[in-house]
């Protein structure tokens, strides 16, 4: 693997499969009474969150702690640190503190890229979501969840539905799932598909009902009601009617098809409560898998080794 | 007053000859002319400095119609003095200073201040551009007539940085400046189509998650303004044309005989939007870098005269405004010291433009559009001695640290470019000699 994880495009198929296999090994930890490995003892992981995202931060924090890393949470919520220069200043501070990995969440697309490539820090940089660009660990945990349910993803059909234009989850998933051999269809009203999407190598559709019967996975993206104020769609009601996943549409799915959502959900908008809480829904499992996948990423970036639970001191340490 | 005899120099790429600059004018041209040639005026010197012009091209002093000098208000980024030093090093003898200063150059007082600072600096002549609307707010016409009548004699008006997007206001501005032969230089950017825009809208903006700046936002305004200029019979100048579609619209307007001129910036001739992939905001500029096809259309348009001039849009920014994430960074890049080299690289070396063409696009035409009488004249006996000597045979690596600008935001740092300005003369006085400021 490369030194940083900035984009799902940084991962070769071998890299991605290594992360999934490692995550599978680590996931078994969750079932044990003591959930800690000494793998990253003495290493420092900084969670640098310029944007509020409790769920992602907690997931990374749990992942780092289960690998015995020291964790520093740096929440830069609010005004003084939301401006440009502070990214650099913060980075220099972190560098002085000897961070081995910086997990960064930022509202500006490319901020993790700048952190990694501007000579501000020497640590590994993990993109935990940047603007409307990417969220590679989300894609990894999504792929991991699909893989546990469906096995190898080659030829599997994944429908990603919703606000693709503003979605970093969609971008990372489109890249990673193709790397893993899946066939991706992005479904959205034309206003919510980015210009140039014809070069992404994915299928696109404006018609959810046409896509659902063939899908092995349906991933619903969050759609903010406020988008209607910018005329991306006329009303929330019309959006739900055309692109929301409700009980009626759920019955069009094949028996094995799973329903996913990266969260946080807008229930009643892109997904109805009965679908979110149904047997097909793996939304809660995605959260569990998130910790395992992030453990795998941190482990592989920081230790460079393979086979985390197979190393000498690990298992006995429990 | 000192005199300069430039020997064996190629005027506009022609046969080598000798060129005598004395008493602020071109005193003599021809093989074998000496300091005594035509020295009739009592003040004339009969000696001076000889410059070996072998291998050098003599061009009329360059005229920039689009420079941001930042003074008053942002003297941390540039001053009239530092900006004109950079201009002289780039071969310019006149620059037009954009109005988006703090305070905005929307009154006779501010334009006269800038004009005076330029005279004091002495490195090149500074022609202030007046704002079209009060405070660039796009609501109310600034006192265009007062600025025209001031000591600064403003003829070019622009809200550059912002677009005069209101169609009625644009129409009125075009009409009003007819009274003093003014021109409206439009920064063509439909504001609603470019809210939060960060880079060229295309395949890459979608992939990088950077809000797109679509070509149509420029083209729609240019088309509208061409129609308005034709309708009211006034002069429109289009700033920094960046798209192939814009070139087509301007070409069409010219074919119809409308009074429309246009400029292209060096960076839009050379650089393309794939540089945004680095997320390094040194490449962030407004309008944004476009596709390869756009740069090619601009070059073709500049070659065939659809695009009248090259203008730098020299836009200095302090370090911290570029040393950050893309979205937080300022738009703009330096341009004065590299413009001629980039024109050589993109236009002259590929055979799209000869040196006479460069003189037209970078000196005569911008002076004509700006109604500047003392610049942009052919190098002929009796003409003001505004001359640049340029060596097209050398190559150099751009070093940001050595710029005369107070800012360092050049996108060309580390890049090898052809050519070097050897000397610049402003009314016979050397502002640059041997590539250095005098
Ligand atoms: Zn502009």
Q: Which of these ranges, B42-46, B275-279, B317-321, has the smallest mean pLDDT? A: B42-46
Most confident range (mean pLDDT) of A65-74, A80-89, B249-258 is B249-258
Identify the pLDDT of residue A315: 35
- Token pair in block for residue A182: 């899946």
Which chain A residue has its CA at the smallest distance from B276's CA?
Answer: A110
Pairing of strands B16-22, A203-205: unpaired
Cα separation, A22 vs A14, whole angstroms: 12
Is the pLDDT assigned to residue B58 strictly greater than 90?
yes
Identify the pLDDT of residue B51: 96
Q: Which residue has the higher pLDDT, A154 or A315?
A: A154
Q: Which residue has the higher pLDDT, B47 or B259?
A: B259
Alpha-carbon dihedral angle through residues B102, B103, B106, B112, given to the nearest 10 degrees = -100
Identify the pLDDT of residue B39: 61
CB B123 within 8 A of CB B64: no
Identify the pLDDT of residue A53: 87
| Partners of B28 in the β-ladder | B20
pLDDT band at B36 (very low <50, low <70, confident <90, very high): confident
What mean pLDDT is predicted for residues B414-421? 98
Is the pLDDT assigned to residue A81 strictly greater than 80?
no
Mean pLDDT, rounded, of chain B: 96
Is the pLDDT assigned to residue B365 strictly greater than 70?
yes
**3-state SS class at B392:** strand
Q: What is the pLDDT of residues B257-297, one digit of tens each?
A: 999 999 999 999 999 999 999 999 999 999 999 999 999 99
Q: What is the pLDDT of residues A113-151, one digit of tens each?
A: 999 998 888 899 999 999 999 999 999 999 999 999 999
Q: For residue B433, report the phi and psi dihedrals to the nearest 5 degrees.
A: -135, 135
Residues A196, B328: C-beta atoms closer than 8 Å: no
Is the pLDDT assigned to residue A312 strictly greater than 50?
no
Helical packing angle, B244-255 and B292-304, nearest 10°: 20
Is the pLDDT assigned to residue A311 strictly greater than 90?
no
What mean pLDDT is predicted for residues B312-321? 95
CB B100 within 8 A of CB B160: yes
Chain A residues touching residue B205 (CB < 8 angstroms): 194-196
Is the pLDDT assigned to residue A79 strictly greater than 70?
no
What mean pLDDT is predicted for residues B10-18? 97
Q: Which of these ranges, A202-216, A258-272, B363-377, has the smallest mean pLDDT? A: A258-272
Identify the pLDDT of residue A317: 34
Is the pLDDT assigned to residue A318 strictly greater than 70?
no
Return the percentage of chain B with pLDDT > 90, whole number: 95
DSSP H or E stretch at residue B394: strand B387-397
Closest Cβ opposite residue B209 in set A117, A171, A200: A171
Identify the pLDDT of residue B134: 98
What mean pLDDT is predicted for residues B53-63? 98
What mean pLDDT is predicted for residues B245-265? 98
* Burial tier of B387 (Cβ tally within 10 Å: 0-12, 13-18, 19+): buried
- Token pair in block for residue B108: 């006779």
Which chain A residue has its CA at the smallest distance from B328's CA?
Answer: A84
Predicted TM-score of the model (pTM): 0.93
Is the pLDDT assigned to residue B236 strictly greater than 60?
yes
Identify the pLDDT of residue A310: 44
What mean pLDDT is predicted for residues A76-102? 74
Mean pLDDT, rounded, of chain A: 90
Cα dihedral B132, B133, B138, B139 sign: negative
Identify the pLDDT of residue B84: 97
What structural domains and CATH numbers belong to chain B? Answer: 3-58+381-437 (2.30.40.10), 61-369 (3.20.20.140)
Identify the pLDDT of residue A86: 77
Strand intervals (E) in chain A: 44-49, 70-75, 101-106, 124-130, 157-161, 183-187, 203-205, 217-220, 258-260
Q: Which of these ranges, A22-36, A91-105, B77-91, B382-396, has the smallest mean pLDDT? A: A22-36
Chosen from A114, A169, A191, A200 to mutate, greatest number of chain B CBs within 10 A: A114
Closest Cβ opposite residue B209 in set A84, A168, A197: A168
What mean pLDDT is predicted for residues A239-255? 96
Which chain A residue has its CA at the smallest distance from B324's CA?
Answer: A84
Cα separation, A77 vs A50, whole angstroms: 6
The CA radius of gyration of chain A, in Å to the nearest whole number, is: 19
Cα separation, B139 vs B157, whole angstroms: 15
Identify the pLDDT of residue A138: 98
Identify the pLDDT of residue A60: 97
- Ligand 1 centroid to Cα of residue B161, in Å, is 4
Chain A residues touching residue B208 (CB < 8 angstroms): 109-110, 133
Q: What is the pLDDT of residues B140-187, one digit of tens each?
A: 999 999 999 999 999 999 999 999 999 999 999 999 999 999 999 999
What structural domains and CATH numbers belong to chain A? Answer: 8-134+286-303 (3.40.50.1370), 136-285 (3.40.50.1370)
Residues A195, B320: C-beta atoms closer than 8 Å: no
| A133: contact with B, CB 8 A cutoff | yes
Q: Which of A22, A44, A56, A145 is catalytic?
A: A56
**3-state SS class at B103:** coil
What mean pLDDT is predicted for residues A142-166? 97
Question: Is the omega angle on the peptide bond into residue A178 within 30 degrees of 0, that is, cis?
Answer: no
ipTM of the modeled complex: 0.89
Return the percentage of chain A with pLDDT > 70, whole number: 92
Return the percentage of chain A with pLDDT > 90, whole number: 75
Q: What is the pLDDT of residues A19-35, one digit of tens each?
A: 999 999 998 877 777 77
Is the pLDDT assigned to residue A313 strictly greater than 50?
no
- Of A115, A118, A119, nearest to A127 by C-alpha is A115
């Amino acid at each position: 693997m490369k030194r940083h994880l900035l984009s799902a495009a940084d991962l070769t198929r071998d890299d991605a499969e290594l992360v999934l296999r490692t995550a599978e090994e680590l996931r078994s930890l969750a079932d044990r009474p003591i959930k800690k490995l000494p793998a990253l003892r003495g290493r420092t992981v900084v969670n640098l969150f310029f944007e509020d995202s409790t769920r992602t931060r907690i997931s990374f924090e749990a992942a780092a702690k289960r690998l015995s890393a020291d964790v520093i949470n740096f929440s830069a919520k609010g005004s003084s640190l939301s401006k440009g220069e502070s990214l650099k200043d913060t980075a220099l501070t972190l560098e002085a503190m000897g961070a081995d990995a910086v997990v960064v969440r930022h509202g500006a697309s490319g901020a993790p890229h700048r952190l990694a490539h501007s000579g501000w820090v020497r640590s590994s940089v993990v993109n935990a979501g940047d603007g409307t660009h990417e969220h590679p660990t989300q894609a990894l945990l999504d792929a991991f969840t699909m893989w546990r349910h469906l096995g190898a993803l080659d030829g599997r059909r994944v429908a990603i539905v919703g606000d693709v234009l503003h979605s970093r989850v969609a971008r990372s998933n489109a890249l990673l799932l193709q790397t893993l051999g899946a066939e991706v269809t992005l479904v959205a009203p034309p206003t919510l598909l980015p210009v140039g999407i014809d070069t992404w190598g994915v299928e696109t559709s404006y018609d959810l009902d046409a896509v659902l019967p063939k899908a092995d996975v349906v991933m619903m993206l969050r759609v903010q009601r406020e988008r209607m104020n910018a005329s991306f769609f006329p009303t929330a009601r019309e959006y739900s009617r055309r692109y929301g996943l409700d009980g009626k549409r759920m019955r069009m799915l094949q028996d094995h098809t799973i329903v996913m959502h990266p969260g946080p959900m807008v229930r009643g908008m892109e997904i109805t409560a009965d679908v979110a809480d149904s047997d097909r829904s793996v939304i809660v499992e995605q959260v569990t898998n998130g910790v395992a996948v992030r453990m795998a990423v941190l482990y592989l970036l920081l230790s460079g080794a393979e086979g985390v639970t197979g190393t000498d001191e690990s298992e006995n340490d429990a | 007053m000192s005199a300069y005899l430039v020997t064996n120099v190629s005027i506009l790429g022609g046969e080598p000859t000798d060129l005598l600059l004395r008493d602020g004018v071109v005193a003599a041209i021809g093989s074998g002319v000496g300091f005594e040639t035509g020295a009739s005026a009592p003040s004339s010197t009969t000696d001076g400095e000889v410059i070996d012009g072998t291998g050098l091209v003599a061009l009329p002093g360059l005229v920039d119609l689009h420079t941001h000098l930042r003074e008053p208000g942002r003297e941390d980024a540039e001053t009239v003095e530092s900006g004109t030093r950079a201009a002289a090093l780039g071969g310019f003898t006149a620059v037009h200073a954009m109005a988006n200063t703090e305070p905005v150059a929307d009154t006779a007082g501010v334009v006269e201040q800038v004009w005076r600072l330029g005279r004091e600096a002495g490195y090149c002549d500074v022609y202030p551009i007046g704002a079209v609307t009060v405070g660039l707010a796009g609501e109310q016409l600034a006192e265009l007539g007062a600025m025209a009548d001031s000591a600064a004699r403003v003829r070019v008006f622009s809200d550059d940085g912002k677009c005069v997007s209101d169609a009625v206001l644009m129409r009125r501005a075009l009409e009003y400046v007819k009274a003093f032969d003014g021109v409206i230089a439009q920064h063509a950017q439909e504001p609603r189509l470019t809210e939060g825009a960060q880079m060229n809208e295309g395949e890459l903006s979608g992939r990088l998650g950077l809000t797109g700046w679509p070509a149509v936002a420029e083209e729609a305004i240019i088309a509208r303004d061409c129609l308005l200029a034709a309708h009211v019979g006034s002069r429109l100048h289009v700033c920094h044309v960046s798209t192939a579609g814009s070139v087509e619209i301007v070409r069409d307007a010219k074919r119809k005989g409308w009074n429309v001129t246009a400029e292209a910036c060096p960076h839009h001739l050379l650089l393309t939007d794939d540089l945004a992939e680095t997320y390094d905001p040194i490449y962030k500029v407004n309008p944004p870098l476009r596709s390869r096809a756009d740069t090619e259309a601009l070059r073709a348009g500049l070659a065939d005269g659809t695009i009248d001039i090259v203008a730098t849009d020299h836009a200095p920014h302090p370090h911290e405004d570029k040393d950050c994430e893309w979205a937080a960074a300022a738009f703009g890049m330096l341009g004065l010291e590299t413009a001629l080299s980039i024109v050589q690289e993109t236009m002259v070396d590929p055979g799209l433009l000869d040196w006479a063409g460069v003189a037209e696009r970078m000196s005569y035409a911008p002076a004509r559009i700006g109604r500047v009488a003392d610049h942009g004249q052919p190098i002929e006996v009796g003409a003001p001695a505004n001359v640049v000597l340029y060596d097209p045979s050398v190559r150099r690596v751009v070093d940001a640290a050595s710029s005369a600008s107070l800012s360092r935001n050049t996108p060309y740092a580390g890049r090898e470019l052809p050519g070097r300005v050897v000397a610049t003369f402003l009314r016979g006085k050397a502002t640059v000699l041997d590539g250095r400021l005098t």
